[in-house]
Amino acid sequence: MTQPAPGSIFDTGWLSLRESADAAARDETLTHQAIEYLQQRKQPGRALSLIDLGSGGGSNLRFLAPRLPGPQSWRLIDHDADLLKEAIASATPLCDGSGESIDVQADCRSLADIEADWFSGCDLISASALFDLVSLDWLERLAAACAAQQTAVLFTMSVTGDWRFLDADGQIQEIPEDRWVRDQLIAHQQRDKGLGIALGSRAPQALVQAFARQGYQVKSAPSPWRLFPGQPDTQALGHSLIEGWAGAVHEQTPNKRQRLERWLVHRLSQLNAGALGLEVGHKDFFACPPAPGSKASDSTSDDQ
């Protein structure tokens, strides 16, 4: 397997920090629709076949397994063997929505080689915080592969590129430098992360369009992180987030180091003092194939 591209490898500390924020932000309605879909797919004597793409350390599995019906058989696909080992280890105590143990297998491979036969017999494909890293061509190939196997999908936490600092009353606290940083980040997110020129903040809309073109019934909904000022989790995650943004902006505009440093020190001091929190935009997405013989319905979005 080829060496992973920069931007496609994630620190376990960062993944751990964001897990609780992701869980709190997910849209409950779309998760419930996935549950209902799987209930209809259940057959006596057959476990539901579930795949998690870009599974990392297994946070998506830990969230979904106790909520989805069983019996469940999972395949976790990721290019990082060490993270897959963590995911498998953490899966041991997990149970499905009925309290029964689940079956979990690791599949270490590059997502670049995605093919329809990966999903043969699969009932639902999940992924979280993945699609800002992929290209439009890769996404179109994924949608076509899912359609070929008539597989439903639940994709969560796709970044929108929209974030704001908030005060204790939830009011936006924007300065001109925030807009400059945001613009540089959006540009940086569209670099090649190993799967072609990355979609970055364009991913949510591209997801809707790609699956709608395949005849899927599509729903999307906002799932923003809301990190309130002064809370320990906000300071830990916010600190890591802001420093990560600064690193990306430095790569994008290395000649603006002093300007970036002033912004970084200013915003970190306010965050650490408990004066500011953050709202970071994401969207969730559920799509299921049309029933055989039916016409494709228009895609819809709960936040439009």
Q: How far apart are CA 275 and CA 132, in angstroms?
A: 30
Mean per-residue pLDDT, 104-130: 95
Mean per-residue pLDDT, 168-175: 92
Q: Is 76 helix (H, G, I), strand (E, B) or coil?
A: strand
- Among 22, 28, 27, which residue's Cα sits nearest to residue 62? 22
- E strand or H helix at 184, and its extent? helix 176-189
Tracing tokens 């009932």 back to the chain, one arrives at 123
Mean per-residue pLDDT over the chain, rounded: 90
pLDDT at 299: 52
Q: How far apart are CA 300 and CA 146, in angstroms?
A: 19
pLDDT at residue 5 is higher than 90? no
Mean per-residue pLDDT, 73-102: 94
Lowest model confidence (mean pLDDT) among 16-25, 44-53, 95-104, 125-134? 16-25
Q: How far apart are CA 88 and CA 214, in angstroms?
A: 33
What is the separation, in whole angstroms, between the first and last Cα of the chain?
A: 41
Lowest model confidence (mean pLDDT) among 31-45, 72-86, 184-198? 184-198
Q: Length of the chain, please? A: 304
Query: What percentage of the chain reaches a pLDDT higher than 90?
Result: 80
The per-residue pLDDT for range 248-259, each reduced to its tens digit, is 999 999 999 999
Range 263-267, long-range pairs (CB < 8 A, 24+ positions) = 263/177, 263/178, 263/180, 263/181, 266/177, 267/165, 267/178, 267/242
pLDDT at residue 76 is higher than 60? yes
Q: Residue 4 — pLDDT band, cuts 50, 70, 90? A: very low
pTM of the prediction? 0.90
